[in-house]
Amino acid sequence: MKSFYPKNGRVILHVDMNSFYASVEMAYNPALKGKPLAIAGNPEERRGIIVTCSYEARKFGVKTTMPLWEARKKCPDMIVMRPNFDRYRAASRGIFDILRTYSELVEPVSIDEGYVDITDSYELGSPLQIAASIQRSIKEQLDLPCSIGIAPNKFLAKMASDMKKPMGITVLRKRDIPNILWPLPVQEMHGIGAKTAEKLKGIDILTIKDLASGNETQLKKVLGINGIRLRERANGIDSREVDPESVYDFKSIGNSTTLPRDISNQQELLAVLKELSQKVSERMRKKNALTVNISVMIRYKDRKTITRSRKLKNPIIKHEDIFEAASSLFIEHWNGNGVRLLGVTAQDLVEEEDALLQLDLFSYEKEAKKEPLYQALENLKSKFGKNAVTKGVKVDALKKDPHTDTSFNKDFLYERKKE
């Protein structure tokens, strides 16, 4: 089987589950199969949007992130269910357990997709045979469909997995790039969204081929260093390894909420910011992380959105400190118009034990008074281990589902670190 594998390169799979949440519900309740099904948050409220939907619903024009009211107009008979995150977590664990039987090099990207490096798995068969076996195993054991891309690097594998859905297997080699990738509109390239595509359009880059041959100086001016990286991707260049440890990385923690109505009262908006700051703080405590950068997102009733951030002198974790920074940013940049959505994000996170407090003239005296306590804690940790004493978390915070109004994928990935 070695003849099916390159002598020097890699063989990487991108496994992408099809309509994951909806598929899990259908596997759990086969009576839902073949019916237009949508998973949506807060179906009774204005903020309800489609999280994912079955292919039967998509035939009516229903799409992910579409407002629920609009989706119901397109498909009146659509079945709508709230997300069941425990069910999705269990299914995802099963998926990645299956993937690890084919290779130790498995990198979860989110709850429903991941990369597998099968370069050294040639004893199990050819790349196509392994991909078919994975697809068959996930379907037979979990009753879940997936699409798989096979390529020499992560970028091409990701592009390939999107080409045949559902239940597709696609091979994408570097020699296929001119005929298969380059004719596509640039927005269909992984890593390019609507805003980036609009910027590229401003410099006459409309297709992936245009990007592949784009002027580096122009690209860097418009997109910064990311412009050069995207040009490399368009040429099939991607040196990233499949890294099982990257699942443990996290750089930001944020919470946002769509308001039940457009609000222009400052006190009401500050109350929302305070609640969001509390949620961010709770999630940071669970991850033993501090932040040195707070950002606030404001979306107005006309859907215009602004995001503003501020670097902090010292790392923080307390909700009072987060709220102080967030409210200051909000007051500085809010134009007084009605607000539709608010968000607070802690960025540039650092592990709590690695955080170094930058003491200044005003904080030194306060922190110095705590020194005896710090010394006592260090003595306990030295004697009984670093987890002997940890900062407390409210009982209510532990009981509450941490995945409500939050980034479920990021929290799921972090949970795998503890398993």
Q: Quote the CA–CA distance of 41 and 95 in Å, as a whole number.
A: 24
> For the chain, how many residues are written?
419
Nearest to 110 by CA among 6, 234, 261, 247: 247
- Establish whether 176 is an annotated binding residue: no
- Establish whether 348 is an annotated binding residue: no
What is the residue-wise DSSP string for 240-294? ----GGGGG---EEEEEEEEEEEE--HHHHHHHHHHHHHHHHHHHHHTTEEEEEE
What is the residue-wise DSSP string for 321-333? HHHHHHHHHHHHH
Rounded to a whole number of angstroms, the distance between the first and last alpha carbons of the chain is 34
Beta strands in 280-409 (DSSP E): 289-300, 305-316, 339-347, 350-351
Q: How are beta strands 146-151 and 169-171 bridged, if at all?
A: parallel
- Find out whether 78 and 57 touch, Cβ atoms under 8 Å: yes
Which residues participate in catalysis according to the annotation? 113
Peptide bond into 185 cis (omega under 30): no
What is the residue-wise DSSP string for 167-220? T-EEE--GGGIIIIITTSBGGGSTT--HHHHHHHHTTT--BHHHHHT--HHHHH
Binding residues: 16, 112
